[in-house]
């Protein structure tokens, strides 16, 4: 998808064969653009600025997502019901993720936060395993002290 700057609403909705999305110039992914793409496993969008709501909703095979520093916002339920999603790279910016359900029904294990400090954005990712691991680490440090 070289040269494409916008993927319009529902453009690939229900696409069965699409496996990888890479686009160096893509800036905007509109609502439900890749909804239900059952073979989609990987996304690499270094120049994307806006991901609208439901853009990758119900992409069951999606495992890895990489965004660059240009990303400004991820809409509500953009990655909801992506149970294979285990790794995402995003910039950490205040207000970028505004909905607690953006990553609901995902199995995120690794979140690479590109540049910045850890803020409340991380809470919106619903990383239950991460929270449990961090609590265990804190408890073991407290026992040592």
51 strand-pairing partners: 29, 74
C-alpha 138/C-alpha 132 separation (Å) is 10
pLDDT tens-place string over residues 36-93? 999 999 999 999 999 999 999 999 999 999 999 899 999 999 999 999 999 999 998 8
Q: Are 131 and 108 in contact (CB under 8 A)?
A: no
Residue 140 pLDDT exceeds 80: yes
pLDDT at 62: 98
Q: Is the pTM of this model over 0.75?
A: yes
Confidence band, pLDDT 50/70/90 cuts, at residue 107: very high
| Percentage of the chain lying above the pLDDT 90 cut | 61
Question: Quick one: tokens of 41?
Answer: 């496993």
pLDDT at 79: 97
Q: Which residue has the higher pLDDT, 96 or 39?
A: 39
- The architecture CATH gives domain 6-144: Alpha-Beta Horseshoe (3.80)
C-alpha 124/C-alpha 48 separation (Å) is 20
pLDDT at 129: 63
Q: Which residue has the tokens 């998808």?
A: 1
Average pLDDT of the segment spanning 106-133: 66
Confidence band, pLDDT 50/70/90 cuts, at residue 24: confident
- Cα dihedral 75/46/85/111 (nearest 10): -90
What are the sequence ranges of the domains in the chain? 6-144
Residue 131 pLDDT exceeds 80: no
Helix (H) or strand (E) holding 20: strand 20-22
Residue 1 pLDDT exceeds 70: no
């Amino acid at each position: 998808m070289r040269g494409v700057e916008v993927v319009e609403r529902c453009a690939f909705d229900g696409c069965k064969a699409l496996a990888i999305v890479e686009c160096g110039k893509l800036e905007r992914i509109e609502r439900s653009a890749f909804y239900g793409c059952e073979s989609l496993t990987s996304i690499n969008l270094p120049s994307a600025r806006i991901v609208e709501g439901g853009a990758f909703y119900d992409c069951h095979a999606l495992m890895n997502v990489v965004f660059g520093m240009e990303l400004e916002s991820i809409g509500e339920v953009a990655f909801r019901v992506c149970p294979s999603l285990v790794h995402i790279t995003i910039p950490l910016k205040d207000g970028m993720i505004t909905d607690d359900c953006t990553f609901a029904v995902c199995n995120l294990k690794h979140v690479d936060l590109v540049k910045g400090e850890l803020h409340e954005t991380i809470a919106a990712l619903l990383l239950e395993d991460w929270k449990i691991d961090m609590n265990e680490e804190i408890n073991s440090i407290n026992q040592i002290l």
